[in-house]
């Protein structure tokens, strides 16, 4: 039985969650009922080096080599390559006459009032875009076959161009993948090939094409990276987090690179969902503040997924956690523009050289340096003791910026933090208020190495009265890897002549579910532990956009029409006296994850505070269940630091989480 089977004896093997961030690589180890955490500086050019460094420092190298350690990994390789435009050299094959489909897109202008927009580099250069014969009609029926001689000639041309990967996107292939599969078979295994009917079998040739291009261009990079990682960790012992919040086997991950773009942040939301249920909260507004960026999301009835996500300027229509990301992290660089106005981010100091106080050669002022100036960080024991912070270096970096602005150093540090908080508050409003949700109805959940230092200020800006700083908040995304279930999100387009036949649609859903179950069982999950849900993408006739409506036993066209109209009214404020049409059937599969007992062990006496610069100071490891702490207080731990502001009270719950309540 596979070692990834949560119902087998392998569940007793140590499990290591790894979150590779832009600045730090975080580790969460669960072994024999105990949780251990660790942090090392990331190695962006070769992420596996930081992973193996952490495994070695945690004393796990031997059992890892013997295949006695399960590694669940959140990777930023695909994300960084997509954002930086460093994907593999990719060639596009499509229908003759549609070679420019990815360049033209939807003809949307990013700045609608800009009369002289700058020309953007297309996803694929025109000399790498090829159209061939072969056509399907809108029902998926062949009206023109592929010319075999033309395809043979194209294969010869491809050899001369020597691309690293090939994306194939033909019209209506989501209804009939025959032409794409014939092209794939002809190309053989000499290239990394992605076909759109596998990557995103849905309507929308542009969105489907972009997803296929991303998958093709990122695939060789992920394949190379995972191969290097598997040279040091047995491949069968590696799982990779998907953007949808579930895991996938290492062997499948490189073929589904477009599904890994939010791999790391999804881990934090998986952990936050568990926390929400444990504390009985109606919902959480989350922000994950790391060294490079901050990710915000809203969790209500589970983690929300979206198919309208973006990576850079490109739409990513595969399922991913619904979050908003901004360039505001501990390493975000502060600077003055030509007019003397202060800015923070999005550029980051990264892992090396990092903030000035890291002592690794950084000289520019960052958010972390501002905290150092204000006494919010301890020089020793930072990042598990891997870095001894240099306050004098922060003084020089912030001081230089302050002199440039004609301000005092402390005043500049406060200004940097205030601007950073405003950036994050704006992002939190976008994920809540802009969608009709009142932030005050939620509890603000902070995690990431820098999150606990900003949680009270952000809650006050959003007029929220409750917050939570989870136990192990500095490595929560890594912990979430351990708690994430195996998942599959599958879909199939409903042809127009089948939209009235619910029985046929249900049979299609069952077939998709069987495909997904087979994949999960190949990863070691047992069929009995796999839960499934069906849904339908619906719209009024004449509309383009759809809403997802649950498909349950006993659903009828009348009940679906009413459910859709009610959802339409909730989302858009009105309903129409118009027939609904069914567009896509979706299947959501979730395998049972391993339950972790992370209960807080009580002690006989509460910890006593030490006197700090402007209040009390606690070591978080000494806090006990039921202990109450009033601000102003700093709480230190090896992976993060938290600030309980004046007017706030924190209480330690059974899991070791800090539940914050605003007193004024």
What pLDDT does 478 receive?
A: 92
Contact predicate 330/23, CB 8 Å:
yes
Instruction: Decide if pLDDT at 267 tops 80.
Output: yes
Write phi, then psi, for 413 (nearest 5 degrees): -60, -45
For the segment 560-583, the average pLDDT, to the nearest whole number, is 92
Write down the pLDDT at residue 554: 85
More confident residue, 345 or 357: 357
DSSP β-ladder status, 15-20 and 24-31: antiparallel
Q: How confident is the model at residue 558 (pLDDT cuts 50, 70, 90)?
A: very high
- Whether the model clears a pTM of 0.95, i.e. scores above it, the answer is no
Task: Point out the least confidently predicted range of 71-75, 303-307, 524-528.
Answer: 524-528
* Average pLDDT taken over every residue of the chain: 88
Which runs of E-coded beta strand occur in 545-606?
A: 547-551, 580-591
Among 150-159, 387-396, 585-594, 610-619, which is the least confidently predicted range? Answer: 610-619
Instruction: Using a pLDDT cut of 90, give the percent of the chain over it.
Output: 56
Nearest to 493 by CA among 317, 320, 322: 317
Q: Kind of pairing, strands 633-636 and 616-619?
A: parallel
Q: Answer whether 282's CB lies under 8 Å from 296's CB.
A: no
How buried is 85 (Cβ within 10 angstroms: 0-12 exposed, 13-18 middle, 19+ buried)? Answer: exposed
Per-residue model confidence (pLDDT) at position 127: 94
Mean pLDDT of the 67-79 span: 87
In the block, residue with structure tokens 């290591």: 16
Separation between Cα atoms, residue 462 and residue 603, nearest integer Å = 36
Q: Count the Cβ atoms, other than its own, within 10 Å of residue 182.
A: 17
Number of C-beta neighbours around residue 141 at 10 A: 11
87-219: which CATH architecture?
Answer: 3-Layer(aba) Sandwich (3.40)
pLDDT at 2 over 50: no
> Is the per-residue pLDDT at 609 higher than 70?
no
Helix (H, G, I), strand (E, B) or coil at 487: strand
For residue 427, what are its two tokens? 């992002």
What would the pLDDT profile of 296-332 be if each residue is shown by its tens digit? Answer: 999 998 888 888 888 878 889 998 999 888 888 888 9
- How far is Cα 367 from Cα 636, in angstroms, rounded to an integer? 18
With H, G, I as helix, E, B as strand and everything else as coil, classify residue 300. Answer: strand
Using an 8 Å Cβ cutoff, are 268 and 414 in contact? no
Tell which residue, 652, 647, 651, 649, has the closest CA to residue 661.
Answer: 649
How far is 348 from 157, CA to CA, in rounded Å? 42
The pLDDT, as a whole number, for residue 607 is 47
Question: pLDDT by residue (tens digit) across 467-518?
Answer: 999 999 989 999 999 888 888 899 988 887 777 788 889 999 999 999 999 9
Q: ω into residue 353 within 30 of 0, thus cis?
A: yes
For residue 82, what pLDDT band results from cuts at 50, 70 and 90?
Answer: confident
pLDDT > 50? residue 1: no
For 485, the token pair is 């279930």
- pLDDT tens digits, 4-55: 344 444 457 899 999 998 778 999 999 888 889 898 888 888 899 999 999 9
pLDDT per residue over 423-465, tens digit each?
A: 999 999 999 998 889 999 999 999 988 899 999 999 999 999 9
Question: Is 608's pLDDT higher than 60?
Answer: no
Residues 6+ apart with CB under 8 A from 233: 64, 69, 71
Q: What is the pLDDT of residues 280-306, one digit of tens each?
A: 999 999 999 988 788 899 999 888 888
Residue 652 has pLDDT above 60, yes or no: yes
Higher pLDDT, 58 or 85: 58
Q: What is the pLDDT of residue 425?
A: 95
Structure tokens at 303: 């983690």
Among candidate residues 255, 269, 256, the one with its CA nearest the CA of residue 306? 269
Residue 383: its pLDDT value, please?
60
Mean pLDDT of 165-183: 95
Q: Determine how many CB atoms are found less than 10 A away from the CB of residue 629.
A: 21
Which pLDDT score is estimated for 527?
79
Range 9-82+224-260 has CATH code 3.30.300.180: no
Cα 180 to chain centroid, rounded: 30
Structure-token match 């009995």, residue found: 528
Mean pLDDT of the region 208-235: 93
The answer to whether 560 touches 599, Cβ cutoff 8 Å, is no
**Neighbouring-strand partners of residue 651:** 628, 659
Amino acid 384: pLDDT: 61
Q: What is the pLDDT of residue 599?
A: 62
* pLDDT at residue 6 in the model: 41
**How would you write 183-242 as a 3-class SS string?**
HHHHHCCCCEEEEHHHHCCCCCHHHHHHHHHHHHHHHHHHHHHHHHHHCCCCHHHEEEEC
Residue indicated by tokens 């596979």: 2
Q: Give the residue-averaged pLDDT of 163-180.
A: 95
Mean pLDDT along residues 629-651:
91
Domain ranges of the chain: 9-82+224-260, 87-219, 332-419, 487-591
Pairing of strands 129-132, 192-195: unpaired
Of the candidates 292, 290, 652, 625, which has an alpha carbon nearest to the alpha carbon of residue 454? 290
Write out the E strands in 460-500.
Answer: 466-469, 487-493
Q: Specify the DSSP element, H or E, that contains 182.
A: helix 178-187
The pLDDT-based confidence of 379 (bands split at 50, 70, 90) is low
Collect all residues with Cβ–Cβ distance below 8 Å to 336 and sequence separation of at least 6: 342, 343, 401, 404, 405
The pLDDT confidence band at residue 612, using thresholds 50, 70 and 90, is very low
Task: Tell me the average pLDDT across 156-170.
Answer: 94
């Amino acid at each position: 039985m596979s070692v990834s089977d949560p119902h087998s004896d392998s569940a007793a093997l140590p499990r290591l969650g790894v979150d590779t961030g832009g600045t730090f690589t975080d580790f969460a180890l669960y072994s024999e009922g105990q949780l251990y955490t660790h942090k090392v500086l990331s190695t962006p050019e070769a992420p596996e080096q930081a992973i193996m460094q952490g495994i070695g420092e945690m004393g796990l190298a031997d059992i890892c080599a013997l295949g006695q350690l399960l590694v669940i990994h959140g990777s930023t390789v695909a994300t960084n390559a997509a954002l930086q435009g460093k994907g593999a050299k990719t060639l596009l094959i499509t229908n003759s006459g549609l070679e420019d489909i990815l360049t033209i897109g939807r003809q949307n202008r990013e700045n609608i009032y800009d009369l002289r927009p700058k020309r953007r580099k297309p996803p694929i250069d025109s000399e790498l875009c090829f159209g061939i014969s072969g056509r399907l009609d809108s029902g998926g029926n062949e009206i023109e076959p592929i010319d075999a001689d033309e395809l043979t000639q194209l294969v010869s041309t491809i050899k001369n161009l020597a691309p690293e990967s090939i994306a194939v996107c033909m019209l209506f292939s989501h209804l009939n993948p025959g032409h794409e599969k014939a092209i794939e078979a002809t190309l053989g295994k000499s290239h990394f090939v992605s076909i759109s009917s596998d990557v995103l079998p849905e309507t929308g040739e542009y969105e489907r094409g972009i997803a296929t291009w991303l998958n093709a261009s990122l695939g060789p990079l992920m394949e190379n990276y995972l191969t290097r990682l598997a040279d040091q960790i047995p491949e069968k012992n590696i799982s990779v987090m998907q953007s949808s919040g579930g895991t996938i086997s290492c062997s499948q991950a490189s073929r589904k690179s477009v599904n890994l773009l939010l791999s790391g942040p999804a881990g934090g939301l998986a952990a936050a969902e568990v926390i929400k249920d444990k504390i009985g909260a109606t919902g959480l507004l989350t922000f994950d503040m790391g060294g490079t960026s901050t990710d915000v999301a809203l969790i209500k009835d589970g983690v929300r997924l979206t198919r309208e996500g973006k990576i850079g300027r490109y739409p990513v229509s595969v399922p991913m956690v619904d979050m908003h990301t901004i360039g505001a992290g501990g390493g975000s660089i502060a600077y003055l523009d030509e007019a003397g106005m202060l800015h923070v981010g999005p550029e980051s100091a990264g892992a090396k050289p990092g903030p000035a106080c890291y002592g690794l050669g950084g000289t520019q002022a960052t958010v972390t340096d501002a905290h150092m100036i204000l006494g919010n960080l301890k020089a020793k024991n930072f990042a598990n003791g891997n870095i001894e912070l240099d306050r004098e270096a922060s003084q020089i970096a912030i001081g230089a910026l302050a002199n440039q602005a004609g301000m005092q150093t402390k005043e500049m540090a406060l200004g940097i933090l205030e601007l950073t908080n405003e950036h994050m508050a704006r992002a939190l409003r976008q994920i809540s208020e802009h969608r009709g949700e009142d932030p005050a109805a939620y509890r603000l959940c902070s995690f990431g190495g820098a999150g606990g230092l900003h949680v009270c200020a952000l809650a006050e800006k959003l007029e929220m009265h409750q917050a939570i700083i989870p136990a192990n908040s500095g490595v929560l995304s890594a912990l979430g890897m351990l708690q994430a279930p195996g998942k599959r999100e599958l879909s199939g387009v409903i042809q127009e002549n089948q939209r009235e036949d619910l029985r046929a649609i249900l049979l299609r859903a069952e077939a998709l579910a069987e495909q997904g179950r087979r994949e999960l069982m190949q990863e070691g999950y047992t069929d009995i532990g796999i839960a499934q849900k069906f849904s339908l993408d619906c719209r009024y006739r004449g509309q383009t956009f759809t809403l997802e409506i649950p498909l349950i036993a006993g659903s009828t066209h009348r009940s679906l029409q009413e459910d859709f109209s009610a959802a339409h009214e909730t989302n858009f404020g009105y309903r129409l006296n118009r027939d609904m049409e069914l567009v896509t059937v979706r299947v959501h599969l979730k395998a049972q994850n391993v339950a972790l007992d992370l209960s807080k062990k009580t002690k006989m006496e509460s910890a006593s505070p030490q006197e700090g610069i402007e209040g009390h100071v606690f070591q978080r490891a000494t806090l006990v269940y039921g202990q109450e702490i009033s601000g102003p207080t700093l709480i230190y731990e090896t992976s993060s630091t938290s600030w309980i502001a004046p007017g706030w009270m924190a209480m330690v719950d059974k899991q070791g989480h800090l539940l914050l309540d605003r007193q004024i």
